[in-house]
Amino acid sequence: MSDTPPNPPFRSGALDQPRMIHPDFPEQHQPAPGLATRMDPLPDHGEESYRGSGRLKGKRALITGGDSGIGAAAAIAFAREGADVAISYLPDEQEDADRVIAAIEAEGRRAAALPGDIRDEGFCKEMVESAVSQLGGLGVLVNNAGRQQYCHRLEDLASEDFDATMKVNVYAPFWITKAALPHMGTGGSIIITSSVQAKSPAGHLFDYAQSKAANVAFAQSLAKQLAPRGIRVNAVCPGPFWTPLQISGGQTPEKAQQHGASQPLGRPGQPVEIAPIYVLLASDEGSYLTGEFFGAVGGSGL
């Protein structure tokens, strides 16, 4: 596979005409975790399309899985809204991370690159401390990194794979949030990326769906704990979005080619199209939003 896909990014639909013909996705597969820079067509993280208005001025945010997909879109949007941003990612994703870091810095914001494996509790603690040190504090935490690998038969799901999914999707947000809380005060916001799978689980995503349901419970339970401290906690539940997760084992190659086609809007979402939800939840405008989950699924509902 070449480093530069032959097709340009396919952009999100116009606001007055959000439905569009489903893109002609070629069959493609990458080894996990996958790179957005090698997808065909390229995802739209908002590199050219997102416009900020200072809604996060003075905020300092840590976003896990911020190198590509929804995490990258949130990172770019946060920077354009005035926030300093740290992103974590796997070392194999450095190519994608470099582009996001450059986009943050292009807005005149501080950026921190934090490569490592969040399946390790020690790294999670070090990552938070590094983010706080490099940004000068922490007010927004986005637990976004996720692992999704399809498996059609429970008998074929290895314990090692089940454990890896739970470590990334359930344990890591616990470890990271626990490390971050001493640095967060009144006005802080914690966001976790769940999934439509939390409410409508597919048979071939047995472990992933369970972990995403846990993410919703994470937000609803922790919101009650942290409300007296003035820290809000919410979950975002995306439907089909065009990210490396889909073409690196998250779906079969055949399903990836038709990703989002069955939705009423007839296409997958672009990462930039969900970024405004993260901006709202991170901003002071969302001051009465806590313990909630927000869907963006292209018309089928949660």
Catalytically annotated residues = 208
- CA distances 73 to 1, 36, 289, Å, are 24, 12, 21
What do you get for the CA distance between the two ends of the chain, in Å?
Answer: 36
For 111, residues 6+ apart whose C-beta sits below 8 A from its C-beta are 79, 84, 85, 86, 87, 101, 104, 105
- The amino acid occupying position 20 is M
Rg of the chain (C-alpha set): 18
- Burial (0-12, 13-18, 19+ Cβ within 10 Å), 142: buried
46, burial (CB in 10 Å: exposed 0-12, middle 13-18, buried 19+):
buried
Task: Specify the pairing of strand 60-64 against strand 84-89.
Answer: parallel
- Of 277, 287, 64, the closest CA to residue 174 belongs to 64
DSSP label of 178: H
Which of 236, 234, 237 minimizes the C-alpha distance to 289?
234
